[in-house]
Structure 1
Amino acid sequence: MLPFTGAVPGTPRAVRDDAVFAGALAVLSAVLAVFVEDGLRPDLLGWSLLLGAHVPLVWRRSSPLPVLVGVVALIAPYHAVDYTHMAAVPVGMVALYTVAVSGRPRRALITGILVVGVTMTVNASVAPHQVAEVLRISGWVVAVLLLGVYVRIHRQYVTSVLERAERAERTREEEARRRVAEERLRVARDLHDLLAHSITLVGVQTSVAAHVLTADPERLDRAAVAKALDDIADTCRSARGELRATLEVLREGTVEETRGPLPGLDGLADLAEAARTSGAEVDLAVREVEAPPAVGAAAYRIVQEALTNAVRHGGGGPGLTIRVGIRSEGPALRVTVVDDGPAAVQDPSHTPGFGLVGMRERARSVGGTLEAGPRPDGGFLVAAVLPLVPVGGLR
């Protein structure tokens, strides 16, 4: 009574495997018919009925109920003639087991009731003295059916466990891919904010130094040139330090250990001072606000990118005014950066960068919103609303 294994029911491999199994079972039945004495030794008719009952087993996986009917139709007259009863037991039990293991428990119950009921009815009318023997056989029939039901339920349980494990593994893989994608996006934003901000300042400071050198060569303002070069050196040192920290994240692969403290609202003064080295006037108004680290970091990066854009596109230099405002509005932090530069009349051929996209992503990373665009009366406005209880934060 082998359970179904390997091949799919109905396939050539399944038929071949069941044919081999039926042949082996037929050999076993023949041995029992020869050596067990609990009835008449089979003659030609007996051997035909006994061995013929094994033929339907070749299709037991694809048609379990017709196979059971075919087996019963052959072994019933075999038992009725009183041939060796033990020889026909294995094939009958395999047919019963196949029905139970391949169908729902209800089908096994109905099959058991019919088989036991018909057997007891026929034997009670034909040979009442064998009722005890029929009851014993009925017990085996019930046991085989229960075994088939148990095997079916156990397989379903194992299959469900394997499927849950597979789904959990897929979920873990998807989560890992999502985290990798989020980390790549975070590093890309960090590199953009860092390099764009630093390169823009270096460019403006270099222009200032060049202007001082060429404005009046006869009366060279050495102090102004030295200050411009010092500003460039400070900007480069700061950029180098942040770039090193960002690259350590990529090299080590462990974000939490290498990220270091997140920038926050207390770093806005340094951003404003760096923007002032370009010649712009920066008005920083920051009210005392207790913001979570992720929200503070998002506000810092938004202000950094807004200042970079203002200096780059707003004609950075004397005459440019930038106003930065940070204040709480109920359960949210409001961030505004306004400049009076000519951002509203940018060159249409200018290729947009990732600055505005990055600022919106930073706002969304903590559950906030951001609006940015030119003002009707000139200049550019960046306004963000960040919840003080963040949904989640990417640096």
Structure 2
Amino acid sequence: MQSTTGRTAPVGWGERIMAAITRDPGSAPHALRNDALLALTGAVIATALALFTDGGSTRPDVLDQGGRPNALGWALLLGAYVPIVWRRRRPMPVLVAVVALVVPYHALDYNHNAPTPAAYIALYTVAVTGRPLRTIATGVVVLGIALSVMLTVSMHQAVELLRISGWIAAVLFFGIDVRFYRQYVSAIVERAERAERTREEEARRRVAEERLRVARDLHDLLAHTITLVGVQTAVAAHVLAADPDRLDRAAVARSLDDIAETCRTARGELRTTLEVLREGQGAGEGRGPLPGLAGLPDLAATARASGAEVELEVRADEVPPAVGAAAYRIVQEALTNAVRHGGRKDLTVRVLLYGGEGALRVEVTDDGVTDDGVGEHGDAPADCGFGLVGMRERARSVGGTLDAGPGENGGFTVSAVFPLPVNRKGEEAR
């Protein structure tokens, strides 16, 4: 959370402590510096314990000094805190080094309280970074070594060590609990990151699908509109240039009216597409009614206005909106290709849609000229094949298939099959 001034809100001590507990020791920032401070703090505490407590020592020379160790004792005591600086990098070697310095310190019967912080820190580090079985075995070994040393000093110190051995077990099990807690938090964070990556991938996939859908819609809309406008403009130009003295004003007016109507229809569809993009909604949301089989007569009428003879036959009941939209767009693209690449003034296009046996079948055939392989109608690279690719993608989007190519008797044929859902009675869904 950020304040109104734009600065990051301060982090409390509780949050810092929890972050330190849950953080992986190997990846903690400033680890060496923090461990050096920890070692220094432990040495200061040990010095205070050695100076102001007797520590249970039984040696007369030590008791005469008020419980304080001599020069050798100070060297062993303070030296035990030096390895703590590297406790995160080498937990087990640090524990061995601490034990190697603390054991002779205790054997010489100096203040037994002073080296305790170093031993606890080393044991905790091994517990929090190692496997539980190894941690327990290490604790047993360390306790056994300490007990053996204390037995050589005095029976009283050995019994005292057994009495406080519960603290050693508490330190070890606390380290094990912290390790398990870190693993638990790490697993939660990993699952959250995995879920976030999944959401991001899903969002990218939806964006890609939406871009592909918009590309198909724009291609179908603009290609169809531009083709029809071009044909209708050519008709008007031909009428104007054919016989200027006997100008057929009615034919020119019809051509211009057809151009205006085509532009209005295209403008409406384009506005719908742009509204979806501006609102940032996903596919199928807020798009208004999808085009369907009911719009096929208008497509046929528009193609007829361009000079083609269109025979439309629909023998299918209501189909799911997605299937109807795919069929509509495929028929639209097929009519556009026929008008654009048919190559004949008396072009005839037959459009047949019929349902049965759990499927909707669409067939669009024309008797145009295709032996020159020009453009998209012959799947040549002149138009990069976007029309045929778009039709196949639309068919696959609803689980259908599409075939396109030259017909047996010339011309071009587009054939698509769309599966339809079946209700409980085994009839086609209506």
Q: Answer whether TM exceeds 0.5 for this pair.
A: yes
Q: Is it true that 1:205 corresponds to 2:222 in the alignment? A: no
Question: Which of residues 58, 61, 69 in structure 1 aligns to 2:85?
Answer: 58
Q: Is it true that 1:271 corresponds to 2:299 in the alignment? A: yes
State the partner residue of 1:29. 46
- Give the superposition deviation at 1:329: 4.3
State the partner residue of 1:108. 135
Q: Within 1, Cα distance between the matches of 2:245 and 2:32?
A: 104
Question: Which of residues 348, 359, 365 in structure 1 aligns to 2:397?
Answer: 365
Q: Is it true that 1:227 corresponds to 2:254 in the alignment? A: yes
Q: CA RMSD in A?
A: 2.6
CA contact (8 A) 2:316 2:360 kept: no
- Give the superposition deviation at 1:34: 0.7
Q: Within 1, Cα distance between the matches of 2:200 and 2:383?
A: 37
Q: Within 1, Cα distance between the matches of 2:31 and 2:218?
A: 60
Q: Is it true that 1:352 corresponds to 2:390 in the alignment? A: no
When structure 1 is superposed on structure 2, of 18-27 and 95-104 the one drifting more is: 18-27
CA contact (8 A) 1:278 1:316 kept: no
Unpaired segments ≥5 residues, structure 2: 1-19, 57-66, 375-379, 423-430
Q: Is it true that 1:296 corresponds to 2:327 in the alignment? A: no
Structure 1 SS opposite 2:139:
helix
Structure 2 SS opposite 1:383:
strand
Q: Provide closer, same or farther for how the CA distance between residues 9 and 79 of structure 1 changes in structure 2, counting only shifts above 3 A.
A: farther
When structure 1 is superposed on structure 2, of 265-274 and 161-170 the one drifting more is: 161-170
Structure 1 SS opposite 2:271:
helix
CA contact (8 A) 1:53 1:71 kept: yes
Q: Provide closer, same or farther for how the CA distance between residues 344 and 374 of structure 1 changes in structure 2, counting only shifts above 3 A.
A: farther
When structure 1 is superposed on structure 2, of 249-258 and 118-127 the one drifting more is: 118-127
Q: Provide closer, same or farther for how the CA distance between residues 10 and 83 of structure 1 changes in structure 2, counting only shifts above 3 A.
A: same
Q: Within 1, Cα distance between the matches of 2:267 and 2:45?
A: 84
TM-superposition CA deviations, 1:257-315 (whole Å, max 9, x none): 54111111111111111111122111112112332111111111111001100010002
Question: Which of residues 196, 206, 209 in structure 2 aligns to 1:182?
Answer: 209
Q: Within 2, Cα distance between the matches of 1:4 and 1:352?
A: 57
State the partner residue of 1:315. 343
Q: Within 2, Cα distance between the matches of 1:81 and 1:250?
A: 83
- Give the superposition deviation at 1:123: 4.2
Q: Provide closer, same or farther for how the CA distance between residues 155 and 6 of structure 1 changes in structure 2, counting only shifts above 3 A.
A: closer
Q: Within 1, Cα distance between the matches of 2:359 and 2:52?
A: 91
- Give the superposition deviation at 1:16: 4.1
Q: Within 2, Cα distance between the matches of 1:180 and 1:10?
A: 38
Equivalent positions of 1:242-261 (< 5 A) are: 242-255=269-282, 256-261=284-289
TM-score between both structures, scaled by the size of structure 2: 0.83
Unpaired segments ≥5 residues, structure 1: 391-395
TM-superposition CA deviations, 1:35-77 (whole Å, max 9, x none): 1223332111211111111122222122211211111121122
- Give the superposition deviation at 1:237: 1.3
Q: Within 1, Cα distance between the matches of 2:189 and 2:421?
A: 40
TM-score between both structures, scaled by the size of structure 1: 0.90
State the partner residue of 1:393. none
Q: Percent same amino acid among aligned pairs?
A: 65
Q: Within 2, Cα distance between the matches of 1:270 and 1:5?
A: 67
Of structures 1 and 2, the one scoring higher in RCO (CA 8 A, sep 6+) is 1
Question: Which of residues 51, 57, 67 in structure 1 aligns to 2:94?
Answer: 67
Q: Within 2, Cα distance between the matches of 1:66 and 1:329?
A: 79
Q: Is it true that 1:280 corresponds to 2:308 in the alignment? A: yes
Q: Within 1, Cα distance between the matches of 2:86 and 2:381?
A: 75
Q: Is it true that 1:150 corresponds to 2:177 in the alignment? A: yes
| Partner amino acid, structure 2, of 1:78 | Y
For these two proteins, the number of residue pairs brought into alignment is: 388
Q: Within 2, Cα distance between the matches of 1:368 and 1:278?
A: 30
Q: Within 1, Cα distance between the matches of 2:393 and 2:323?
A: 13
Q: Within 1, Cα distance between the matches of 2:267 and 2:344?
A: 23
| Partner amino acid, structure 2, of 1:31 | A
TM-superposition CA deviations, 1:17-48 (whole Å, max 9, x none): 42332122111110111112233321112111
When structure 1 is superposed on structure 2, of 113-122 and 281-290 the one drifting more is: 113-122
- Give the superposition deviation at 1:7: 7.5
